[in-house]
Structure formats: C-alpha cells, structure tokens
C-alpha cells in the first residue's frame, strides 16, 4: 500500500511538472507569435504609409497640372510601378508646358502684329475725316471705320493684357490702399456713361476705408471690367449696386445688377476666356469674353476668391469677391 502511494505521488509530481513545462512552453510560443505579428503589422504600416505618401504626391502633381502649375510637378525616382507612373506624369507636364509656351508666344505675336495695321487704319481715317472733298455719306463711312478700328484696338489691348496676366510670370508691386476710395473713383469715372444709359449706381459700406494690400492698376482694371459687364447685361435694371464690408480677416466686395439672371451653365463657365452667354447676341457689345477672365486672374493674383450669385425672384446677379486683409 505504501508502495502504491509512493508511486502515485511520484507520477502526480511528474504530471504537475510536465503540465507546468507545457504551460510555460505555450506561453513562450504565444509571446513569440504576438511579437511576430506585431513586427509584421509595423512593417506593413511603414510600407503602406510610404506608398500612401507617394500616391498623395502623384495626386498633388495631377492637381498642380490641372491648375497650370507644370513647373511644380515632383518626380518620384523609385524604380517601381509608382515611379514609372510619376515619370510619365512629369513628361506629360513638360509637354503641356511647352505647348502652353507656344500658345503664349502665338497670342503675343498675333496681338503685336495686329497693332501696327490697326494704328495705320486709325491714322488714315483721321486724315480722311479732315478732308474737305468728302461727301456727307463718305464722312459717315469714315466715322464707321474710326469706330470699328477703335473697337478692334481695344480688343487687341485686352488680348495682350490677358496674355500677360495669364501666362507671364510677373512680379506686381503691392501697397496698402483703401478699397472704398478705389470703388468711388471708378464709379465717378463711369457717371457720364451711366447718365447716357439712364443708369444710376448705389454704393454702400464706403463709410470705412477697407484697407488692404493690392496693386492699384490691377484693382482699377478689375472694377472697370465688372462695372462694364454690369452695364452691358444689367442696363435694363437701371441700377448698379456696390456693397463693401469686412470681418477680422477679409474684405468683401459685391457688385450687382438686375436683368436676366445667369443659368447654371453660364455660372460655371463665365470666367473662362472667350466665353459668352447664349443671350449675348441680345446686347450691342464689342466684348469677346475676356473681361471676366481678366477679373478672375486679377483676383487670383491677389490670392482672393470670386463667385457669382443669382436670384431668380429678384432678377439680381451679384459678383462676390473676397480679399485677405
């Protein structure tokens, strides 16, 4: 009996020790497994993060190309599929930049080449106007030549101005000026034209200066184009409204007219160069669709924002601009 108890105790101890060894072995295996999984997850995270970063870089390059900033495209030099795609995007950007440069040169050359003959036409028309041998009918014809040549000269200058603003990398000088004063100045210049068209203007918010950093000539051009556009398409409403306001970070300018409001398609394309609305034929205009494209570019140069808001009920169209202070 004692022998049996001794053997039972021995085997019981052996079983406990074996169980302890198995438990410790399993625990060590679990630790190794979890450690391995952790390393795999860490490596996967590092690799995936690197891939995500490279994809984000490709996406940013495409966005820059869509904005016309070809020179900011960055090349991924890795020797893999993403690197090959990045290099293809870079080559495409170079080709687009060269194509745009050719377009810029063509626009500049055409505009400059047209200047000389138009100037000659204007000069000869002035000489003919002074001639005493012309009949009344011929003088009317000369007057038409003068008027048309003046309009053509204006369009050529507008084309040159747009090409400079859109394509040439130019440094503009900025100074702190009052937007209220600039708006008042431009509206005063338009008073004779408004009187002839029986249109009045309403200016609100100019009781404070609304100081901001700008290029004076560009802002005056912006205002002139917006008011010309308002007179052209909103003269039936008999009033052009301007509202100035500001908050802690921005200055806001609204110029509104009353007339046929824009469709959604017109709002989408209105700042595109050479775009004219379907109803432009109803108006006597020499515009070729560059005025608002120039406005949009001037706003961009000033790091501002421009939008169009239309109200069908009141037939009100508002050009809304925001400038940083």
We report the CATH number of the domain holding residue 264 as 3.30.565.10
Domain membership of residue 6 (yes or no) is no
Residue 155 shares a structural domain with residue 180: no
Residue 223 shares a structural domain with residue 101: no
What is the CA angle 242-243-249, rounded to 5? 135
Residue pointed to by tokens 């300018």: 253
Higher-confidence residue of 264 and 173: namely: 173
Interval 128-149: pLDDT, tens: 877 777 788 887 888 888 888 8
Q: Report residue 316: phi and psi, to 5°.
A: -105, 130
Interval 278-322: pLDDT, tens: 554 444 445 556 788 889 989 988 999 999 988 888 888 999 999
Query: Mean pLDDT for the chain?
Result: 78
> How confident is the model over 196-214, as a mean pLDDT?
91
> Where are the alpha helices (H) located in the chain, listed in sequence order?
2-66, 81-130, 136-167, 179-197, 216-234, 264-269, 291-301
Residue 125 shares a structural domain with residue 206: no
Domain membership of residue 201 (yes or no) is yes
Residue 120 shares a structural domain with residue 243: no
Domain membership of residue 202 (yes or no) is yes
Q: What is the pLDDT of residue 23?
A: 47
Q: Are strands 239-246 and 250-258 parallel, antiparallel or unpaired?
A: antiparallel
Q: Which domain holds residue 144?
A: 82-167
Q: What is the pLDDT of residue 233?
A: 83
Residue 197 shares a structural domain with residue 261: yes
Q: Which of 14-18, 117-121, 211-215, 274-278 has the lowest mean pLDDT?
A: 14-18
Whether 234 and 240 have beta carbons less than 8 Å apart is answered as yes
Last residue in a domain, options 167, 202, 233: 167
d(CA 74, CA 56): 12
Q: What total number of domains does the chain contain?
A: 2
Nearest-CA neighbor of 179 among 313, 7, 323? 323
Handedness of CA 254, 255, 260, 264 (dihedral sign): negative
Helix (H, G, I), strand (E, B) or coil at 251: strand
Residue 86 shares a structural domain with residue 185: no
Residue 280 shares a structural domain with residue 299: yes
CATH number of the domain to which 93 belongs:
1.10.287.130
Last residue in a domain, options 140, 167, 194: 167
Using pLDDT thresholds of 50, 70 and 90, give the confidence band for residue 3.
very low
Residue 115 shares a structural domain with residue 228: no
Residue 182 shares a structural domain with residue 308: yes
> How confident is the model over 122-126, as a mean pLDDT?
79
d(CA 194, CA 237): 12
Domain membership of residue 189 (yes or no) is yes
CA 142 to chain centre: 43
Interval 218-276: pLDDT, tens: 999 899 989 988 988 887 888 999 999 999 899 999 999 998 777 777 778 788 776 66
Interval 52-101: pLDDT, tens: 787 788 788 787 777 667 777 777 777 887 778 878 888 887 887 777 77
Domain membership of residue 248 (yes or no) is yes
Residue 151 shares a structural domain with residue 283: no
Q: What is the pLDDT of residue 236?
A: 82
Q: What percent of the chain has pLDDT over 70?
A: 76
Highest mean pLDDT: which range of 156-160, 195-199, 254-258, 311-315: 254-258
Whether 275 and 289 have beta carbons less than 8 Å apart is answered as yes
Last residue in a domain, options 167, 187, 221: 167
Residue 179 shares a structural domain with residue 314: yes
Domain membership of residue 11 (yes or no) is no
Residue 191 shares a structural domain with residue 303: yes
d(CA 281, CA 272): 18
């Amino acid at each position: 009996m004692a022998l049996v108890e001794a053997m039972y105790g021995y085997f019981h101890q052996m079983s406990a020790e074996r169980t302890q060894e198995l438990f410790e072995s399993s625990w060590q295996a679990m630790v190794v497994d979890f450690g391995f999984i952790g390393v795999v997850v860490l490596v996967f995270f590092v690799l995936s993060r690197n891939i995500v970063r490279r994809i984000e870089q490709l996406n940013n390059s495409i966005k820059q190309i869509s904005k016309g900033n070809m020179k900011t495209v960055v090349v991924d030099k890795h020797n893999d599929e993403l690197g090959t795609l990045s290099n293809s995007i870079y080559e495409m950007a170079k080709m687009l930049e060269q194509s745009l440069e050719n377009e810029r040169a063509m626009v500049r050359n055409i505009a400059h080449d047209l200047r000389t003959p138009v100037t000659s036409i204007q000069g000869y028309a002035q000489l003919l106007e002074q001639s005493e041998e012309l009949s009344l009918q011929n003088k009317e014809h000369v007057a038409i030549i003068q008027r048309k040549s003046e309009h053509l000269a204006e369009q050529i200058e507008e084309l040159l101005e747009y090409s400079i603003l859109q394509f040439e990398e130019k440094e503009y000088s900025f100074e702190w000026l009052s937007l209220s004063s600039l708006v008042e100045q431009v509206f005063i210049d338009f008073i004779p034209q408004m009187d002839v068209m029986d249109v009045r203007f309403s200016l609100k918010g100019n009781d404070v200066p609304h100081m901001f950093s700008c290029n004076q000539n560009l802002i005056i051009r912006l205002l002139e184009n917006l008011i010309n556009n308002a007179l052209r398409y909103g003269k039936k409403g008999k009033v052009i409204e301007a509202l100035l306001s500001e908050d802690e970070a921005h200055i806001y300018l609204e110029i509104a007219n009353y007339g046929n409001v824009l469709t959604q398609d017109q709002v989408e394309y209105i700042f595109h160069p050479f775009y004219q609305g379907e109803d432009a034929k109803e108006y006597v205009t020499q515009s070729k669709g560059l005025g608002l494209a120039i406005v949009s570019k001037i706003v961009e140069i000033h790091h501002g924002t421009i939008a169009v808001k239309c109200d069908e009920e009141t037939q009100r169209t508002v050009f809304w601009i925001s400038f940083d202070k």
